Structure 1
Amino acid sequence: MTGQMSKKELDAFSKKTIRKPALVWDALSPAETRQSFDFAENYKRFLDDAKTERKAVTVIQKALAAAGFVDIDGRAKGKGKFYKVFRNKAVAAAVVGSAPLDQGMRIIAAHVDSPRLDLKQNPLYEEVDLAMLKVHYYGGIRKYQWLARPLALYGTVVGKDGRSFDVEIGEAETDPVITIADLLPHLAAKLQNSKKLSDVFEAEKLNLVAGSLPAGDEKQKDRFKLTVLKYLFDRYGLVEEDFASAELEAVPAGRARDVGFDRGLIGAYGQDDRVCAYTALAAIQDLKKPPRTAVALFFDKEEIGSEGNSGARSRFMEDFIADLFEKQDAPVSERVLRKAITASEALSADVNAALDPDYQEVHEKRNAARLGYGICITKFTGSGGKSGSSDASAEYVGRVRQIFNRAGIVWQTGELGRVDQGGGGTLAKFLAAYGMDIVDCGPALLSMHSPFELSSKADVYMTFKAFKAFFDDRQ
């Protein structure tokens, strides 16, 4: 039949039926292009200020308070904007909508933790006249990427008297940094070059160089350790036993940067998943009166399976939603709460892997996300035969697609690499366990899980617009 069509008819039919991926830059007006660059500047500041999950929570809380959200644990009642901070590691925010809560909510859930190096509880030692710190890596890292680069130390310490204090060393221009020394190529031939990459870099050799000056004369014991302890004591009052009740994290030092001579990309640590955290935060801050109550969730511990009392497997979300019912003077039982959550629609706001120009063979190009092509809808994650994935339904992907199309959102779809090549997971399956519809949505990144991840300013801006459209959709 198509062979009998004229060229004009075929062109019209092709335009009607074939989907051609759209480059965001082609879809944006000059004014929106300028807005996307302005949005990126604010996002970069967020990345600089939110290097750890605790720092991210603090920044998010301050932004919500400045936007008129009130602490749900306070005395404020009635319709409005609420937030709740949990264990200083997770945050929830809500804008109460027109529809009753028991009809369900629109939920966007992101995570604020990223791969890093955690100090052990007994980290400080000295070896060959250097003071060193032992670490245990957190999340999925490629160990070699963390060697021979400046690192900053962040965290919270609880002293023996119960006093809590924050540590931040390595970001200010006058601060020292720490680092992990790498083996020079001249001596690596037998020890490293003949081994598999997975065997070359041993986790127990990811030790931080923390000092080199001795305290006292050569008869003084632990004199290199003492110099480091003197610095930490003078600055924070920290003593060695305090490491036992501390959460101290080594992360890449330095600010988020524009990448490329055209400044179209952003390079920074922690964009997985703080790019989704920031865009979800910006989207909910912008809401006035959504049709259904909008909820933004910012979880911890996603990089290690969403475990613990601050991860998506916890009952923090249930507790927050129950508080929302109470603030509306609406009766809530376990059954009502369960029904409301089940009736909700959700996005698991997380990133996908962008097609890498140098490693295209690990992707299946027809189903790989690309930088600059908008927010990526990831129907399923997991590995192998979709193991460990929630796998969103056709009905719900269709629903999200309609929302995005109505709002003029540039979107794409993507899988995390070729089948049987690898895989990964998100927090989607833990929210799906409540019965709600949920699908993964977020921008694509290059160099994901590295100390310097790359995102497109076009995708970051489009992700914000997509999240806002999801919250504010009237149908």
Structure 2
Amino acid sequence: MDKNNEKTAGELLADKLLSNKKNGILRISDNELDKADAFCEGYKTFLDNAKTEREAAAQTVILAEKAGFKPYEAGKKYAAGEKIYFVNREKAVILTVMGKRSLEDGVRLAAAHIDSPRLDLKQNPLYEDKELCLFKTHYYGGIKKYQWTTVPMSLHGVVVKGNGEKVTVRIGEDQGDPVFCVTDILPHLADSQMKRPAPQIIKGEELNLLIGSRPFKDDKVSNKVKLNIMSLLFDKYGIVEDDFVSAELEAVPAFKASDVGFDRSMVGAYGQDDRVCAYTALQAILDCNDPDYTCMTVLTDKEETGSDGNTGLNSSYLPYFIADLAKPYGIDGRTVISASECLSADVNAAVDPTFIEPFEIRNASQINYGVVATKFTGSRGKSGTSDASAEFVGRIRNLFDAHDVIWQTGELGKVDGGGGGTVAQYIANLNFDVIDVGVPVLSMHAPFEVTSKLDTYMAYKAFSVFFAD
């Protein structure tokens, strides 16, 4: 051996004792990188087809049934290997693969959310002003309001008419569809606007969606543009203005998921928080066959507004389902939950070199360094978080290392800088062992978010080995 290439005692000791994680692209084969790229083609399709929680739930059922899952039947005993799903109010889904071991030994759960920041229409949204027609909106989740102006938007959701009929709306996604937008003032006339504090550059009541400008040709009626819009909506959907009161309509960015970068190494799209984790956890459970422990993926709603409501994980639908699943075997639901483990599948903030100040670099996640295990989130003093135990972190660390999952740790910003919440705290409150595991995201909560294809694939791999363990 060339003595010039021999490592010194210090170098050998450093290799043994010090952390030296490298960019994940440098750690995997070209073959596995090709697998990551191929995996993300299906992911991009899912993003385009699942822009709301209702659509994500519906797409999940389609994919689940193709993979052999059947609707859950209460009171039925299921054999090992059987695959079932349960839908909660068209906005949340629990997918289960029965294991060989008794439910007394607990389940392996991955929990992601399928709601994302957006603009919701108010209950009385439609108005005309200066012969333009607009919708009033109420933003959903934490957003920088100025980012949502001048972006092409599509309209998704349901309208329940006065006779009880439910109509599905999806406008702005197909070739030839019109789109909508929130307008902004031109820079030449924005002097007073630009003197506002940053959170008020665009105010919530200024997020009005432009939807039309042509008047109905009848001089004897007022609000001619509004009437023309309602005439078009009645012709297409059979709805009248009062039907907006019983509607759930969401305005979301109209553009499609795209590759980002000359090297096509990243995915750019709306709604990747948290559908990047939802899709990877979904694919992991779809590919799960004959596990030792019973495995579950729950795709839930309302995380962006605190997980409250009967489709959010601060409700009881998940423990109720587990209790109902265990009841035919004479097992108490509490027994199952107390023996269970969970990967709370939620994203983390990737370091942005342009905006480096909020990050504590030694404990921040980076693009292409793999899936992120986040011991705690919360804000200032770990408020509003589950803090995973050393024992459970050690178990997950060893599991990932043993199966060549490229992973990293991360926390959401500097100690006094902010932070955020995930569903982990609500699952932990049920007495699960739980840790956040997800994908680092650039431009989180913006209309166009960015993730790494490598990190996305490693999230799928992480959930898969968790189910198989």
1-side partners of 2:342 and 2:205: how far apart?
A: 40
Show the counterpart of 2:341. Answer: 345
Residue type of the alignment partner of 2:221: Q
- Structure 1 runs (4+) deviating above 6 angstroms are none
Gaps of 5+ in 1: 1-5
The answer (yes or no) to whether the contact 1:267–1:453 under 8 Å persists in 2 is yes
Residue type of the alignment partner of 2:329: A
Show the counterpart of 2:297. Answer: 296
2:446 pairs with 1:445: no
Show the counterpart of 1:3. Answer: none
Q: CA deviation at 1:34?
A: 1.1
2:383 pairs with 1:382: no
2-side partners of 1:287 and 1:319: how far apart?
A: 23
Length, aligned pairs only: 462
The answer (yes or no) to whether the contact 1:22–1:410 under 8 Å persists in 2 is no
2:44 pairs with 1:44: yes
2-side partners of 1:175 and 1:323: how far apart?
A: 44
2:199 pairs with 1:198: yes
1-side partners of 2:398 and 2:31: how far apart?
A: 25
SS of alignment partner, residue 361 of structure 1: coil
Show the counterpart of 1:261. Answer: 262
Show the counterpart of 1:321. Answer: 322
Q: CA deviation at 1:318?
A: 1.6
Show the counterpart of 1:417. Answer: 413
Task: Kindly provide the CA deviation profile for residues 200-236 of structure 1, in whole angstroms up to 9, marking residues without a partner as x.
Answer: 2111011011110000233321211111111111111
Q: CA deviation at 1:74?
A: 7.2
SS of alignment partner, residue 244 of structure 2: helix
Residue type of the alignment partner of 1:12: L
Normalising by structure 1, we get a TM-score of 0.95
Normalising by structure 2, we get a TM-score of 0.97
The answer (yes or no) to whether the contact 2:74–2:324 under 8 Å persists in 1 is no
Show the counterpart of 1:141. Answer: 143
1-side partners of 2:263 and 2:69: how far apart?
A: 37
Task: Kindly provide the CA deviation profile for residues 395-420 of structure 1, in whole angstroms up to 9, marking residues without a partner as x.
Answer: 11111101101111110000101111
2:265 pairs with 1:271: no
Q: CA deviation at 1:323?
A: 3.3
Describe how 1:102-251 pairs up with structure 2 within 5 A. Answer: 102-189=104-191, 191-251=192-252
The answer (yes or no) to whether the contact 2:75–2:325 under 8 Å persists in 1 is no
2-side partners of 1:314 and 1:179: how far apart?
A: 34
Show the counterpart of 1:457. Answer: 453
Task: Kindly provide the CA deviation profile for residues 143-185 of structure 1, in whole angstroms up to 9, marking residues without a partner as x.
Answer: 0111011000000111001001100011112111110110100
Q: CA deviation at 1:324?
A: 2.4
The answer (yes or no) to whether the contact 1:70–1:76 under 8 Å persists in 2 is no
Aligned with residue 429 of structure 2, among 430, 433, 438:
433
Gaps of 5+ in 2: 1-5
Residue type of the alignment partner of 1:21: K
The answer (yes or no) to whether the contact 2:107–2:341 under 8 Å persists in 1 is yes
The answer (yes or no) to whether the contact 2:132–2:225 under 8 Å persists in 1 is yes
Show the counterpart of 2:73. Answer: 73
Task: Kindly provide the CA deviation profile for residues 41-97 of structure 1, in whole angstroms up to 9, marking residues without a partner as x.
Answer: 000000000000000000001111110011013797532111000100000011111
Residue type of the alignment partner of 2:330: P
2-side partners of 1:111 and 1:179: how far apart?
A: 26
The answer (yes or no) to whether the contact 1:97–1:291 under 8 Å persists in 2 is yes
Q: CA deviation at 1:141?
A: 0.6
The answer (yes or no) to whether the contact 1:72–1:323 under 8 Å persists in 2 is no
